[in-house]
A and B are shown apart, each in its own frame.
Chain A
Amino acid sequence: MPSVFKYIPLAALSVSALTTAAYAERGSQGDLNLIYWQAPTLLNPYLASGPKDSEPASLVLEPLARHDETGKMVPWLAQAIPTLDNGGIAADLQSITWVLKPGIMWSDGSEFTADDVVFTANYCMDAESGCQMTAKFTDVEKVEALDPHTVKISFSKPKPYPYAPFVGLEVPVLQAIQFADCMGPNALNCSAQNLAPIGTGPYQITDFKPGDVVTYDINPHYRDADKPGFTKVIIKGGGDASGAARAVLETGEFDYAWNLQLDPQVLGQMKSAGKGQVVSSFGTAVERLQVNLTNSAAGLGDARSTRDGGVHPFLANPRVTKALSLAIDRSTLIDIAYGDAGRPTCDVLAAPAIYASGANDACLTQDLDAARALLDEAGWTDTDGDGIRDKDGVSMTMLYQTSVNPVRQTTQDLLKAWWAEIGVATELRAIAPAVFFGGDQSSPDTYQKFYADLEMFTNFFPGNDPEPYLNNWACASIPTPENGWSGMNVPRYCDPDYDALLAKLGNTVGIDERIAISKQLNDMLMQAGALIPLVHRGEVSAHANSLEGVRMNVWDSELWNIADWTRDK
């Protein structure tokens, strides 16, 4: 009997906690401390920046529509998502019309209008501004204000998916008055504006020390009178992922830590201190091996790693890449290196779920015997008895490179061991990220020059339309000395059928048909062995047990609903 009574006060407490959360007043929740170990340096997402900058900016700057945690579009500064049905998208697919919510104010008290949206588009589309989001405005011909609350975006050709401009955290609306003097070449020199943009979001910036800390307080003109809950927000940067995780999970100094790609054991141990929770969310990011289908032999000179230099002695054979893929135990790899942050996958287009093909799932189970059989079939056997397969005097030895990163080096070691079991030798190489991902023409070590047989990194696509992503493997996107080694078709894959299907995708409107074509494109890439997908990667963050309302979102800013966050007291 007494045991029943023991729970009554607790239950009463939790009910009262719920009611305070539901009826929270603006600013009633105290201070909120977040830690972004990669410190924000710039709060204007249009200039050179990454998620470490655009997420802290998302407390202030808002787009017309966001993605929620399931990847679904939700209207934000707009009243509704324009569609063909509601007339927001023109029947010829050449324009989209957004209607803005009325009565929205900037944090300085001025009114938010369609002119701000038009200004932002012109700001980014100016070729001299150094705007990094120009790809979001591809084919945009004109952005005009039909009236103070209506914006029409016209495209130069029919756009089956017109939701690139002003959807998502990377393309928010800037205040026209504040940025008036920052057009074109001046954009990069507007320090004051770029470090403290005025926005419509729940918070405004009170102080920003680049590379260190951002301090916010409540935007007094925020549209919802009851929100946000927290009075003051601090985003602290610096240190590393394990220090950030410790500050939330072990010492409790911080309420939220972002981007915690850590050894699963380390994270698990910290979690056991009981102060916080680890949350993850899966987007479109896939860690993959890029297979060099061309010959990377150093003796080829300028033709090295180009289609002119001829095909790769063994990797161009899909049987061989299939064998390499089958030799990998993806589940073990994830247990050791990724933990909550990874799921095995055999598709390079692994998400959104409706686009996942699943036709290549045979690789999910490791099968060393089948892998050996495939190599035997391909004619690669160990004739000289040195443990490494060979054929016509060529030995199956591969150079496998990636960027310096503990998880990637662990992966390299594991893969090397598995491949040794099927008689393939691997030489490993790790390159500093700034060099590997850099575009320095004089460096032989960039991922695009690909002077190796295999390389590994993650790629993803923002939003939920895979068309630009699938365009990466068109023949025209192959990096060559002629185009300055630009282009994302790193495997040097070129198939006229693939290109034809891509063109068809560009002209297809129906979502079901788009999905079917996208799956087909994914399968073509997989069957040709251009890529070996390893891990569908998620984002991992941690928050204090007392923090409520977190809806971890990989499709947009993780802080997208920060106005709803509260503290369970």
Chain B
Amino acid sequence: MLTYCLRRLAFSVPVLIFISFAIFLLMDMAPNDPTANLPMSIPAETRAQLREALGMGDPLVTRYLLWCKQFFIHEPLNWLTDLTGLSFGDPDRLRVLSWASRAPVVELIAERLPQTLWVVGSSYVIGILIALPVGIYSAYRQHGWFDHLGSFISMIGYSVPSFFLGVVMIVIFAVKLNWFPSVYDTTLTVTGWESFLAQLRQMVMPVTILALYNAAQISRYMRASMLENLHHDCVRTARAKGASERRVVLAHVARNSMLPVVTVIALGIPQVLAGAIITEQIFKINGIGALLISSIQSGDLPVVQTLTFLFAVLIVLFNLLADIAYGLLDPRISYD
């Protein structure tokens, strides 16, 4: 198992390097200009100087290698310095800086991560917690009223876009009823009961929307997988042996049905960290998703490059985790 993991990890290094270069090339070829959003009164010579100062005049390979150096060497060293308090090498080494804000990209991401984890993360957990029982029971009582209701709600969660649902919720709960705020306050720190309640209040609407979508998606997978397994011979055998229905469904059917669902869940986690672009925009959560979209719009290459690369790392990593989880759930699968 360990050798398998190490082999997979070693193999992912060239993959990731290739991905990072591919992203860099794509971004470079895209017709985008970081000075495009400046006021029109700024003359062309100044714009050219600005692009020069940002290093856009250097050849592609130089810029790519510089990013690699800053990201793979300087940033980890800075992190070690912060962590241990010891100093490693030149303290003035250049970090990956955003073009739009001139702030280190890693710090920008660190600032955005808490709200994304709070909102998107908790909606994912809640979504899973709803989806699994719903999926299991819908399949067990297929064509029953619960199954129909579940199908109906997941159809809504799946097909109604969040930009519509979000605005409808704001109009009802923020404008008319005044229950929840329509703007997410990122400066709020949870220090006691009152601030915790405030945090819950501002999370209710975005979390509901995202959890509904996640639950809709995962419950369908769970249900389909359960239906497939309910008719296996081993289930009949278990019933014939006199096992209780509860044990048949949970231990024999549900456990076997979890396999494909675990893959779906594991592969969905990188998307959690990537944020929810539209929902974040509607509720002004300013998480990772909002950072990505605003960077794309302003042609902020270093931020887009770093973010997309981190997503690639996460996807590779969670693919590996999904494979490991297979081995744990299904003894028939062995990697040694």
Interface set of A (CB-CB < 8 Å, partner B): 35, 37, 39, 41-42, 47-51, 127-135, 185, 187-191, 194-195, 207, 209-213, 215, 234, 236-240, 243, 246-247, 250-251, 253-254, 273, 433-440, 442-443, 445, 457-462, 468, 484, 486-488
Closest-CB distance, B24 to chain A (whole angstroms): 17
Among residues of B, the one whose C-beta sits closest to the C-beta of A487 is: B44
Verify A47–B108 contact, CB threshold 8 A: no
B66 within 8 A of A: no
> B31 to chain A: which residues have CB within 8 Å?
435, 438, 440, 442-443, 445
Closest-CB distance, A256 to chain B (whole angstroms): 13
Verify B181–A48 contact, CB threshold 8 A: no
Verify B174–A486 contact, CB threshold 8 A: no
Q: A41-B101, A130-B54, A191-B102 are in contact. Are A438 and B33 (CB under 8 A)?
A: yes
Verify B187–A434 contact, CB threshold 8 A: no
Q: A188-B53, A247-B182 are in contact. Are A238 and B285 (CB under 8 A)?
A: yes
Verify A459–B284 contact, CB threshold 8 A: no
User: Nearest 10 CB-CB pairs, A to B?
Assistant: A438-B33, A130-B53, A486-B44, A210-B101, A443-B31, A438-B36, A238-B284, A41-B101, A239-B284, A212-B286
> B44 to chain A: which residues have CB within 8 Å?
439, 484, 486-487
- B141-175 Cβ-contact flags toward A at 8 Å (1 or 0): 00000000000000000000000000000100011
C-alpha gap A212/B170 in the complex (Å): 20
Verify A460–B36 contact, CB threshold 8 A: no
C-alpha gap A186/B114 in the complex (Å): 31
> Can you give 30 A-B contacts (C-beta < 8 A)?
A42-B102, A51-B39, A130-B50, A130-B53, A132-B46, A134-B46, A187-B53, A188-B102, A191-B103, A191-B104, A209-B186, A210-B100, A212-B286, A238-B280, A238-B286, A239-B183, A247-B183, A250-B174, A250-B175, A251-B181, A253-B183, A433-B297, A434-B33, A434-B298, A435-B33, A438-B299, A439-B51, A440-B31, A459-B41, A460-B40
Verify B97–A211 contact, CB threshold 8 A: no
B211 within 8 A of A: no
Closest-CB distance, B85 to chain A (whole angstroms): 20
C-alpha gap A445/B30 in the complex (Å): 12
Verify A236–B183 contact, CB threshold 8 A: yes
Among residues of B, the one whose C-beta sits closest to the C-beta of A49 is: B38
How many interface residues does chain B have, given as a range? 35 or more
Verify A135–B41 contact, CB threshold 8 A: yes
Closest-CB distance, B154 to chain A (whole angstroms): 28
B305 within 8 A of A: no
Contact of B282 among A51, A239, A438 (CB under 8 A): A239
Contact of B182 among A39, A189, A209, A253 (CB under 8 A): A253
Verify B183–A195 contact, CB threshold 8 A: no
B98 within 8 A of A: yes
Closest-CB distance, A369 to chain B (whole angstroms): 36
B3 within 8 A of A: no
Verify A254–B102 contact, CB threshold 8 A: no
Q: A130-B50, A234-B187 are in contact. Are A434 and B297 (CB under 8 A)?
A: yes
Closest-CB distance, B41 to chain A (whole angstroms): 6
C-alpha gap A58/B282 in the complex (Å): 28
Verify B102–A47 contact, CB threshold 8 A: yes
C-alpha gap A445/B108 in the complex (Å): 32
> B100 to chain A: which residues have CB within 8 Å?
41-42, 48, 210-211
